[in-house]
Amino acid sequence: EETPAPTPAAEEPSPVQRHEERSHDLGDAPSESQEGGSSVPVDANEAKRAMEEAKRARLEKQAADLAEYEEMRKAEKVKEEEEIRNLREKRIQRQKERVEEEKRLTELRAQEEVRRKAEEEERRRKKQDEEVRVKDDREKKKREAEERLKPKGRNFKISKKSDSEKLDSIMSKEELQKSKEQLEEEKQAILAQRIQPLSIEGLTSEKLIEKAREFNEHIKRLEGDKYDLEQRFKRQQYDMIELAERARQMNKGKAKRGVTTVQVDESFDRLADKFTSAPPKIQLCSKYERHTDHRSYKERMVLFEDLAKEPPPPEIKRISKTVTPSPAPEAAE
């Protein structure tokens, strides 16, 4: 008997065949480029090239952005350096201007001080000349008045006060009364000395602001001095009033020489409030003096024992009138 020949074993499909079978089962028809078993390497190369292109484009964009940022930063740095250089130049210029201004102000102060001293010297010289002239005029008038008051004949009158003293008093009163022109001249001289001329020509805004600040500080200082003087005046006025009151209290009982007046204490008196006939309290010392009464309570109460007693009723004196009988008439004989 013939034995049947063994059937050849089914060959194991290759990976490409399995891929084609899977594609056929899914209904995807294989394209022309996938024939011959070379489709997978082609897709991988294209994806790699696409990734490289994308990476290269991204790197180029980053490089372009970085270059643009560097250019912008360089421009900003140049601008900042220019601004810093300008600020330094301005600061140096301001320092120079400040030094020049201080130098100019120092010169102006020196000139003003020289001018002020010259004016004071001139004013002092004029005042001395005026005093000498007034003194000479007074001596001249005094001699003329003495010549006029000199008696021409014999004079047996004894004067208690010399004529020269009267003349001096009259002339001193005339000198105290100054004319309006003299008062106006003195006023203008004082104002010219106190009010300094203000020169602001050619000053910049910064210098004007600095000048305004100086004036503000000067005004603040003057206001402070004014307040201090007002407070000092009030305090001195109060002290003067208190001293005048003390003097008045001390001299209150010395109007008449040798007579001591009694000062009444105006404070509340309980004894006078209880008894209307009680005399007022006597002030033993001034209320401005600080004396302590060292007497005991008993010693002080003894002084008012007699005052607390009721006065006795007035005594009525009876005057008895005796009637003398008239003599009886004699009987007629």
Average pLDDT over residues 223-231: 91
Higher pLDDT, 271 or 71: 71
Average pLDDT over residues 277-301: 76
User: Over the chain, what HEC string results?
Assistant: CCCCCCCCCCCCCCHHHHHHHHHHHHCCCCCHHHCCCCHHHHHHHHHHHHHHHHHHHHHHHHHHHHHHHHHHHHHHHHHHHHHHHHHHHHHHHHHHHHHHHHHHHHHHHHHHHHHHHHHHHHHHHHHHHHHHHHHHHHHHHHHHHHHHHCCCCCCCCCCCCCHHHHHHHHHHHHHHCCCHHHHHHHHHHHHHHHCCCCCCCCCCHHHHHHHHHHHHHHHHHHHHHHHHHHHHHHHHHHHHHHHHHHHHHHCCCCCCCCCCCCEECCCCCHHHHHCCCCCCCEECCCCCCCCCCCCCHHHHHHCCHHHHCCCCCCCCCCCCCCCCCCCCCCCCC
Quote the pLDDT of residue 14. Answer: 57
- pTM here is 0.25
pLDDT over threshold 50, residue 9: no
Question: Whole-angstrom Cα distance, residue 108 to residue 196?
Answer: 12
Average pLDDT over residues 226-232: 91
pLDDT over threshold 50, residue 252: yes
pLDDT over threshold 70, residue 186: yes
pLDDT digits (tens, 9 = 90+) for 136-156: 888 888 888 777 766 665 555
Percent of the chain with pLDDT over 90: 17
Q: What is the mean pLDDT of the chain?
A: 76
pLDDT digits (tens, 9 = 90+) for 62-119: 999 999 999 999 999 999 999 999 999 999 999 998 899 888 889 988 998 898 899 8
pLDDT over threshold 60, residue 39: no
Higher pLDDT, 38 or 196: 196
pLDDT class of 38 with cuts at 50, 70, 90: very low
Average pLDDT over residues 246-268: 67
pLDDT over threshold 80, residue 293: no
pLDDT digits (tens, 9 = 90+) for 197-214: 777 778 888 888 988 898
Quote the pLDDT of residue 153. Answer: 58
Quote the pLDDT of residue 5. Answer: 47
